[in-house]
Amino acid sequence: MTIPEIEAEIVSEFSLFDDWMDKYNYLIDLGKSLPVIDPKYKTDQYLISGCQSQVWLFAEYREGKAFYSADSDAIITKGIVNLLIRVLSDQSPGDIINADLSFIDHIGLREHLSPTRSNGLNSMIKQMKLYAVVFQTKYQ
């Protein structure tokens, strides 16, 4: 699936919920379903700075695409990073770099996050795109 197709799918899923408490609960469920990151990547080297909670992000390049794995010590943050991984993993570096990630605003996520969580969201996006830039520079 393309990034816009995945984003549209997420917007559709979130539209099923009428209030933000239900959407938060859905984020919590997404956090619980985040695939486990290899423990060797839960080090300071993979820790994203700028997040209120601890978030570890690892990326690898295979067959022309970037693949991400992550973990966090906060369940809502795990849900947020799971959404980002769902959208950006298994995509080409160029598509990741150019992704506008408009689904974040369409589902109302940014406006319902505290300023520190919003900064963390921006830091996660920045790090994922930085990995894509490195992959594009190194392999293409």
51 is catalytic: yes
Kindly calculate the radius of gyration of the chain based on its CA atoms and give it in whole angstroms.
14
Q: Is 113 helix (H, G, I), strand (E, B) or coil?
A: coil
Q: 44, exposed or middle or buried, with CB in 10 Å at 0-12, 13-18, 19+?
A: exposed
Q: Which listed residue (30, 51, 57, 121) is catalytic?
A: 51
- DSSP H helical ranges for the chain: 3-14, 20-32, 75-88, 93-98, 103-106, 115-139
Q: What would the two tokens of residue 15 be? A: 């539209």
Q: Which sequence positions are flagged as catalytic? A: 51
